[in-house]
Amino acid sequence: MPVANFHLIDIPLNRALVKPLLKGACALYAEVLGAPPERIRAFVTFHDPDAFLAGGELCSENGENAPYFDFIVLEGRPVEQRHLLLSGFTDLLVALLGVDRNAIRGHCRPVSPENWAIGGVPASEKRAAEIDTLARAAAAAAR
């Protein structure tokens, strides 16, 4: 289920580091969520520097490399896991691309299991036992 998408400016540095970025994202997801790697999806979407604005200017003009990422997790994941992914994906971008941490933006999108399909079947049905375990663990942690 885990899916991450990194939005990067289309420059040679970013293109050269796609493979380690995707592999690092997969490893982070697997570690933080305990998700089997075969369930993880990660993508990079490149954007023309003339169509990417950061700091109030086009990146083609200010030369800023300002990545944005978003990722999806099923609802019920503890906030600690979501925060580890937010910081972990940021750390990965800093380490690989050498960008300023403050230039990176990220977003976690929790999705209801009823609104996510795996092979055309709602995750609420396909992963019912796993989702129940996650919900019980989250409820116990909240106490």
Residue 35 maps to which CATH number?
3.30.429.10
Q: Which helix (H) or strand (E) element contains residue 46?
A: strand 41-47
- What is the pLDDT at residue 134? 65
Look at the pTM and tell me if it is higher than 0.75.
yes
pLDDT of residue 53: 93
Number of domains in the chain: 1
Please write the tens of the pLDDT for every residue from 49-87.
999 999 899 999 999 999 999 999 988 889 999 999 999
Q: Which domain holds residue 106?
A: 3-142
pLDDT band, residue 124 (cuts 50/70/90): confident
CA-to-CA distance for 90 and 110, rounded, in angstroms?
Answer: 18
Per-residue confidence (pLDDT) for residue 131, from 0 to 100: 64
* Residues paired with 134 in a beta bridge: none
- CB distance 37 to 30 below 8 Å: yes
The confidence band for 128, taking pLDDT boundaries of 50, 70 and 90, is: confident
| Per-residue model confidence as pLDDT tens digits over 37-52 | 998 999 999 999 999 9
Provide the token pair at 106.
Answer: 């990220």
